Structure 1
């Protein structure tokens, strides 16, 4: 009898150990588990993506009392933007934030709209569009690709940089090899001003400029600063030719696996991060211009009307973007 009691006690102890092991962390969202969300991006530790990702992590973990944990994987450690999008679609990673008009536009073609030159008048026009019906409709298009569009963080208004000369008119760009994002709109955009568009993955861009593979690139000031492009690009032309939002997407199956309270917390965290991000980056722009000047970068104010005129027909060449979408944004 004594032996039987010992055997029974040992069996119960083993069963408890197995049950404990089964109740650990699981990104599948089973009841009682901690959900782990891997959020991948291609930016540096000071890039816009990272700034937003850190705020989102703070907010969502606070709102869920730790039932959701966020792992941030920056610096392209989980692959390029195209790879990150593919992995979100197939569920290999849970979330990513990427420039909407980058390779993401090859998955959701309507996102090419953000590469159309001078579509937006100013930031107010941008935010009215993103925060309204049009922005939501574009987010909804991701569902057909097994993604949940959660919102837009900031990349910003884009400017042209190069290592060769000052740029004040489209004539100055002619013949330059300019790195572009791998989507159709950017081919048309750069050809319209006489540049030679050259697709290069973002994580390879610094070295491509350093080695002379391309003469220049175009990105917002916070990107130029955070990626230290000014070390290999001595001319910045403040063209403000397009605005890029950083779309935030989650694997749809992961989203559906969250309970209602968790979904609400995630959405609120994305929205609050959007507000925080816009304000934080707006405050940094003057500081960034000073940093560029301190690094002997020559900054020019170009003839934007000349650039606008040179690129006015690009919207007619990009068949991936419905004409009525362009018209709605222009009149928004």
Structure 2
């Protein structure tokens, strides 16, 4: 009699991460559905093992892991469709953005991913609105970031966009990020509030300007060949568990923003809300890069993306809770 099917899941964040909890939700849903037919092994954070975040998809493709989550920006160089979410100040608010990836646009992402990689897309997770954090000065205007060294992901579109805004981009892997910030290697970093808080980046860079310049998505992916080789009923159970985990992860991510905003404020961080005029200045500064990026995509794909963004210039609301609640203990914004 054969033993259980072993499925190894991996991630790159700690136990409090909404992504780690998403993996746990998948594990729990799958084992509840099929019992001892599967043995799910969870490796929440491969960083301490010396594995870089960007290596995870390759390890899944090679069969050393079965599944992982990964920020879409890490794969946008191989799957250009994903780079739609790498254009600053372009994505709609989180609810409309997630509605996009639950529709025809998400189906395009899945097809493109399968064609370009050895991965199957099981779900699209909420990777949060990204904001700028600095040591002392808020970034009310793009001119204030001129010459600042900014930590970025290993994504060409991010680097080009931030360079166009005046930053000096520096790629640092997630496993090295906390130490790099502590050592003063960067003047600024950009992340969702959950990462800023859980990686303790606000100790060195406590002034967080709520730019909401990117709405991040994370892909929950499985080895394509391994998935196809599983019995049909087990594939269906995995897909159903992934859908349940996706719903759980998204709910956690939204509530986490509110929790982390309060926790950051309680730790003495300053959260800065931009005015409409200030936000418009950021969008205007990013516009030339965005137009160049849009020109690289086919019109049909852009139409799917624009279905939720609309034709106006309204930016996504980056504020995780009412602005008055984001005042720090000194009443500063």
Instruction: Give the match for residue 174 of structure 2.
Output: 202
Instruction: Give the match for residue 113 of structure 2.
Output: 142
Give unpaired runs (5+ residues) of structure 1. Answer: 1-22, 24-31
Instruction: Give the match for residue 254 of structure 1.
Output: 226
Instruction: Give the match for residue 105 of structure 1.
Output: 76
Q: Is 1:211 the equivalent of 2:186?
A: no
Contact 2:10–2:43 under 8 Å retained in 1: yes
CA distance in 2, matches of 1:215, 1:74: 29
TM superposition shift of 1:319: 7.6
CA distance in 1, matches of 2:256, 2:189: 21
CA distance in 1, matches of 2:189, 2:131: 8
Q: Aligned with 2:3: secondary structure? A: coil
Q: Is 1:317 the equivalent of 2:303?
A: no
CA distance in 2, matches of 1:284, 1:151: 19
Give unpaired runs (5+ residues) of structure 2. Answer: 309-333
Contact 1:41–1:75 under 8 Å retained in 2: yes
TM superposition shift of 1:259: 0.9
Contact 2:19–2:249 under 8 Å retained in 1: no
Contact 1:110–1:321 under 8 Å retained in 2: no
Q: Is 1:175 the equivalent of 2:147?
A: yes
Higher radius of gyration, 1 or 2: 1
Instruction: Give the match for residue 11 of structure 2.
Output: 41
CA distance in 1, matches of 2:71, 2:202: 21
Q: Aligned with 1:37: secondary structure? A: strand
Instruction: Give the match for residue 319 of structure 2.
Output: none
Contact 2:145–2:165 under 8 Å retained in 1: yes
My pick for the range that moved more, 134-143 or 73-82, is: 73-82
CA distance in 1, matches of 2:25, 2:201: 25
> Cα deviation per residue 1:202-222 (whole Å; 9 max; x = unaligned)?
111111111111112111111
Instruction: Give the match for residue 283 of structure 1.
Output: 255
My pick for the range that moved more, 105-114 or 242-251, is: 105-114
Alignment of 1:6-155 (within 5 A): 23=1, 32-77=2-47, 79-101=51-73, 103-144=74-115, 145-155=117-127
Instruction: Give the match for residue 4 of structure 1.
Output: none
Contact 2:123–2:220 under 8 Å retained in 1: yes
> Cα deviation per residue 1:253-283 (whole Å; 9 max; x = unaligned)?
1101211111111111111111122222222
Q: Is 1:297 the equivalent of 2:269?
A: yes
Q: Is 1:330 the equivalent of 2:306?
A: yes
> Cα deviation per residue 1:187-229 (whole Å; 9 max; x = unaligned)?
1210122111111111111111111111121111111122221
Structure-2-length-normalised TM-score? 0.86
Q: Is 1:223 the equivalent of 2:195?
A: yes
RMSD: 1.7
CA distance in 2, matches of 1:283, 1:44: 18
